[in-house]
Amino acid sequence: MTDPSLDKIPITQLKGVGPALEKKFNQIGIYNVQDLLFHLPFRYEDRTRVHQIENIEVGDHVQLQGEVLSNNIQFGRRRSLQCILQDKTGFISLRFFHFSAAQKKSLAPGQLIRCYGEARRGRSGLEIYHPEYKIMPDFNSIPVAESLTPVYPTTEGLQQARLRNVIYQALSLMEHSPAVQDYLPTAIVKNLALDNLTDAVKFLHKPPIGAPLSWTSSETNSGQKRLAFEELLAHRLCMRRFRNVSDEQKAPMLKAEDGLLSTFLKSLPFTLTNAQQKTYREISDDLNGTCPMLRLLQGDVGSGKTVVAALTALHAISCGYQVALMAPTEILAEQHLTNFGQWFTPLGINVGWLSGKTKGASRTQQLLELTNGECQLLIGTHALFQDEVIYKKLGLIIIDEQHRFGVHQRLALRDKAAAGAVNPHQLVMTATPIPRTLAMSAYADLDSSVINELPPGRTPVNTAIISSTKREEVIQRIKMACGKGNQAYWVCTLIEESDALQCEAAEATTEKLHRLLPLISVGLIHGRMKPKEKMAVMAKFKLGEIQLLVATTVIEVGVDVPNASLMVIENPERLGLAQLHQLRGRIGRGSIQSHCILLYQTPLSNVGKQRLSVMRDSTDGFYIAEKDLELRGPGQVLGTQQTGLMSFRVADIARDAPLLDIVKDASETILQNHEEIVEPLISRWLGEREHYANV
Ligand code: ADP
Ligand code: MG
C-alpha cells in the first residue's frame, strides 16, 4: 500500500494533538499535515548560542541560561511577577504580567532555566518581559538549537513551542515518507530554475545558521522564491477563476435612459472633469454588456469618485433596476446618504437606508420597500447583504471599500449578492491609490478605471516636517489659524498597540490643548465612541462650533469640512504613507491654502526621514503609494499589511514584484492547459479561506 498523501493525513495522527489542540489548529486553518507544512514562519530567532548577561544591550534578542535567585510578586501600576536570573556574568530581571501560581512555584530560587526574549529597559534596569523559558535539570540536558528557530503566526492558547513541536513532526513525516506533491508543470519549474518543493519547505521551517532572520531581507533565498511564486500563483488563479466564472454569467443589459442622467448633470454646480467623463464611459460600456461588470474605480482623495458612482447608480435606476451602495463604516455610509439624498430626491428617486442599527418598524418598512421595489437605491453597511434582505430587482452593487474590506470579504459578498439567477453588476471604489503591483494581485479579478485628475481650483496642501521639540510653535500656529476663522485637526496616531490606550492618549492630548488654548473650542473624536456620538461631533465641526478637532486615525474616512485648513499629525513616522496621504486629504478641500504639519518624534531613522520627505514633496497619491511600498521601514513584514488588502504567508509584493508578470502568464497557461492543478494549488495556499464562508 502506498502512503496517503500528506493532505490526507489528519493532524490528530501526530503526537500530542488531541481534540482540544485540534480545535486550536483548525482556528488558524490547519487541518492536515500539508497545512502544517505550509504554515510558514514570519520571522526567526537565533537560539543557536547562549549569551552572557554582562554583554546584553537594550533591544537585543538573547538566549540566556542561569539560576533563579528570587521571585517576587510586585504591585505597581500593573501587578507582575519579577524573577531575578543570574549567570556567571551578572543579573537580569524576567518580568511576567500574566502568570499562574504554578508558574511562580516552578520558577523557585535555585532552579536552572534557559530563556529567550528581548532585553528592554524596565523598572529595575534591564528586563525581559515574558521570555519563553525551559526548566532544566542541568545545563547540558537540552542542546541548543542547531538551526534558526521559526516564529509562526498563531492564535490565543496555542503557544509557539507547541506549534513548533507539531510542525517539526510534520517535517520529519515529509522527509521519511511521501514528499509534498509538486503540482507545478515541469516546464515552469525548469524555466524559472525553481528549487525543489520539499527542500524549499524544509528550508523555510529550519533555515541554517546564517540565513537571514527576516523575510524583508533584500536577499531572497531560493526556497523563499519557490514558495512565494507558488503562493502568488495560487492567489491569482483563485481570482482569475472567479472572474472566468463571472464572465460566463448573465447580467442585466442596462441601456441608460439619458434624460435622467442629463437632468442630474445639469443640477450639479460644476461640470465633470475629463477623467470623470472617461471613467463613466468605461463603466457605461460594461453596463451595456451582458455579463456582470466587475470594475475597480480608483482615484485620489477628492478626485470626485462619488459623482461617478452617482452616475453609475442613475444609469441602473433609469433602467428600472435597484442599486445597493455599501460602505465599510456607518459614518461613511451616512455621508453617502447625505450626498445621494440631496442629488436624487429632487429627481423623484426613493433612497433607502439600512445599517446594523436599523431596528424595529423602520427596518421592517425598509425591507418591505426593498422587496416590493419601491426603494431604488439602498445605502448602508454590511447589513445590506444579510440573509433576510431581499431585493426585488438588484442590478448594481457599488462597494466603497476604502481598503476596509479584504479581498476575501469582497469575493464572499459578491457570492452572496449573486445568489440569484441574474448577477448584478459591480463597481468597487477605493480611496487610496494602489501601487500597480499590488493592484495586479489584489484586484486580479477586476477591470480598472482611474480618475487621474483633480477637479479644478484646488490649492495643493503645503506640508512641513517639524520636530516635536517645536510643539509650542505649532500650537501658536493653531491659535493663529483659528483666530482667522479657520479650523484645524490634531491627529493622534497609534502610540500604543491597544485601541483603548490610543483613545486615552487622544483624551489626554485634548485636555492639554484645551488648557493651552483656552479661547478655542476643542473637540475630540475617536474609535471607541458610538457612531451617533461620532456623527454629533462631526456635525459640530462642520458647523464650526468646534474649531480644533483632536482625532485618532478614525477621521481618515468620510469627512468633508472645506473650512479646515490646518492639520497636525503627531508621530507621522508610525503611519504608512498611504494612510498619511488619506489623512492629509481631509484638508485642502476649499480654496484657501492649507497646511499639514508632520510633527515627528526625534530621533528619526534615515528611512523615516525619506518617507516623510515623500509626503512633503508630493501630493500625488499614486506616486506616494509606490514610494510607500518601496520604502517600507524595518519591521513592516508585509507590504500589504498597511493597506489591509491582502496578506501572504511568504510572498511579499514589494520584494517579489519581479515575479508578478511571470505569475500572470503562468496562471493563464495553467487555466488553459492544466485545469486539474488549479483546485489543489488554491486549496494548499488559501485552504478554507477559499470558501469565503465568514464575511
Ligand atoms: P472622492 O474621490 O474623494 O470621493 P468626492 O467625490 O467626495 O471625492 O469629491 C470631492 C469634492 O469635489 C466634493 O465636494 C465634490 O462635490 C467635488 N467635485 C467632484 N467633481 C467635481 C468637478 N468635476 N468639479 C468640481 N468639483 C467637483
Ligand atoms: Mg469619497
Over residues 598-642, the pLDDT tens digits come to 999 988 888 899 999 999 999 988 888 888 877 864 334 333 343
**In contact, 73 and 80? CB cutoff 8 Å:** yes
* Domain assignment present for 430: no
The three grid cell numbers given for residue 160, joined into one nine-digit string: 509557539
Pocket mutation for ligand 1, best pick of 267, 274, 305, 307 (most atoms within 8 Å of C-beta): 307
Pocket mutation for ligand 1, best pick of 279, 280, 303 (most atoms within 8 Å of C-beta): 303
Residue 133 and residue 39 share a domain:
no
* Domain assignment present for 654: no
Pocket mutation for ligand 1, best pick of 265, 279, 306 (most atoms within 8 Å of C-beta): 306
Residue 521 and residue 473 share a domain:
yes
* Domain assignment present for 109: yes
626 CA from centroid of ligand 2 (Å): 21
Residue 211 and residue 92 share a domain:
no
**In contact, 573 and 631? CB cutoff 8 Å:** no
Q: Is residue 430 lining ligand 1, measured as CB closer than 6 Å?
A: no
Residue 607 and residue 469 share a domain:
yes
Residue 574 and residue 472 share a domain:
yes
* Domain assignment present for 683: no
pLDDT value at residue 421: 66
- Beta strands per DSSP E along 31-156: 43-45, 61-74, 80-87, 90-96, 112-122, 125-129, 132-136, 149-151
Q: Is residue 336 lining ligand 1, measured as CB closer than 6 Å?
A: no
Residue 66 and residue 133 share a domain:
yes
The list of the chain residues with pLDDT below 50 reads 1, 216-218, 633-644, 690-695
* Domain assignment present for 275: no
* Domain assignment present for 290: no
pLDDT value at residue 521: 96
Residue 194 and residue 130 share a domain:
no
Name the closest ligand to CA 271: 1
Residue 33 and residue 161 share a domain:
yes
The three grid cell numbers given for residue 365, joined into one nine-digit string: 418598512
- Beta strands per DSSP E along 132-189: 132-136, 149-151
State the total domains in the chain: 3
Number of Cβ atoms within 10 Å of the Cβ of 13: 12
For β-strands 125-129 and 90-96, DSSP reports them as parallel
Chosen domain end from 92, 114, 144 = 144
319 CA from centroid of ligand 1 (Å): 26
Residue 172 and residue 73 share a domain:
no
Pocket mutation for ligand 1, best pick of 265, 270, 273 (most atoms within 8 Å of C-beta): 270
Residue 183 and residue 40 share a domain:
yes
CATH of the domain at 99: 2.40.50.140
Question: Position of cell 503557544?
Answer: 159
* Domain assignment present for 313: no
Nearest CA to ligand 1 atom 27: 455
Residue 198 and residue 134 share a domain:
no
Q: Is residue 311 lining ligand 1, measured as CB closer than 6 Å?
A: no
Structural domain boundaries, residue 194: 4-44+152-219
**Rounded to whole angstroms, how far apart are CA atoms 81 and 65?**
19
pLDDT value at residue 444: 85
Nearest residue to 339 via CA among 400, 390, 396: 400
Chosen domain end from 603, 618, 633 = 618
* Domain assignment present for 354: no
Residue 161 and residue 37 share a domain:
yes
Q: Where does 288-420 have alpha helices with state H?
A: 305-318, 330-344, 360-371, 407-417
CATH of the domain at 546: 3.40.50.300
301 CA from centroid of ligand 2 (Å): 7
Phi, psi of 303 (to 5 degrees): -80, -10
308 CA from centroid of ligand 1 (Å): 9
Chosen domain end from 198, 219, 240 = 219
336 CA from centroid of ligand 1 (Å): 12
